[in-house]
Amino acid sequence: MTLLDAALPGADIAARPASAALSGTAEAITTRAGLEAIAAEWAALEHRAPGATWFQSLAWARAVFDFEQQRANPAFAPVIATWRERGQLKAVLPLERTDGRFRKALMPLGGAFPQYADLLADPGIDAGKALMAMLKAAATARPADLAALLKVRAGCRLLDGIPRSAIRTGARMGAPYVDCAVHPDFDSYFKLLKQKTRKNMRNARNRLEREAPLTHSVAASPDAIRGVIGRTVAGRAGRLRDQGLTSRAFTDPAFADFCAGLAGRDGIDILAMSLDHGDQAVAEQWGFVHRGRYYAFVASRDFEQSDESPGKLHLKEIIETCFARSIHTADLLVPVMPYKLTWASGVTEVADFAVPLTLKGRLGIALWDQRLRPLAKYLVMAMPKSLRGALMKLAGRG
């Protein structure tokens, strides 16, 4: 009996299908053919589910499957958990299993690449009962020690269903956002910013424009989009190395190739933007538009111009573009940063959760996620930035 068996309601649940006592059926899909078999239902659920996010979309799942097949990744172990009631698809939880040295974990599909974990769910289901059965079905198809549910937003359906056995891991995080829908136009929104903030940005823009024109552009072709993607990913990776920092996505050397491959794909709407000072980009950003929400995925800026806040100036252009395209929310994603807070309507709390699936998983969470990993991070962050940067460059050469 697994830890999830013990948590599910009903006597002798291990002797029956994962969801027999729940008036529903949990199943696990592990192949691209299986994904395509439910594609029409998935798309319909995505259309009607409140708060459906990009990283649980059918288009995202297809992109991940295709990329992993293209690079012939033998470690790719997808498992898409589904929940049906009366034969109708009511929930989808796209996952994959990653095999570490000491444990196996179910993670959001895409591994380190997605920015939110969530449950794509019909509004009428019991998220708690469905999620428990779905995790059991996933762990049966892809045996694992834990489910690492990373970047779970306050108020989302996945958080509604998180079991009591889940353990919160990592530091508190936040995702700033701009609620465009509550304002009639950009000018009305812009006037709500502090007068001093608007003045400082106007002065910074004027100083830059004394040297060369400052222009904003939106990439219109797949090639132009790939150009923005390539420059931002390279710029961000370089900045992380210089600071002696890293992130889950940028530790994967294939991240740049994955991002470049998204441009021009059917079903993927990418908004890629550049702020140019003369003939040189001083700030660029790109992200996804899904169901009227913009997800600011990767950004980079020229730090030689940091005194003039190019990121803050560019964000003004980005938000104005969102208004012009009737985008209701600009989601600036984790982490909270000062230039984002200048513009944000609010900040959504974000947290990581680990759900133990076996006793080994529970012990590993207690030892690594709650104790050793935070200590290791603290020790690394306590190093001088120059030393962290040197270590990162050395690791990169290795």
User: What is the structure's pLDDT at 15?
Assistant: 27
Mean pLDDT of the chain: 91
Amino acid at 312: K
pLDDT > 80? residue 118: yes
Give percent above pLDDT 90 in the chain.
79
User: What is the structure's pLDDT at 145?
Assistant: 98
DSSP 247: -
Peptide bond into 163 cis (omega under 30): no
Task: Name every residue whose Cβ is closer than 8 Å to that of residue 121 and which is 6 or more positions away in sequence.
Answer: 45, 49, 83, 90, 91, 92, 127, 130, 157, 161
Output the pTM of the full model.
0.91
Q: What share of the chain is helix, strand, coil (3-state, %, to 5)?
A: 45, 25, 30
**Which range (123-132, 274-283, 299-308) has the least confidence?**
299-308
DSSP 315: H
pLDDT > 70? residue 397: no
User: What is the structure's pLDDT at 8?
Assistant: 42
Ordered DSSP codes for 184-204: SSHHHHHTTS-HHHHHHHHHH
User: pLDDT tens digits for 372-395?
Assistant: 888 877 787 788 876 766 666 555
pLDDT > 80? residue 304: no
Phi, psi (degrees; rounded to nearest 5) at 39: -60, -45
User: What is the structure's pLDDT at 228?
Assistant: 98
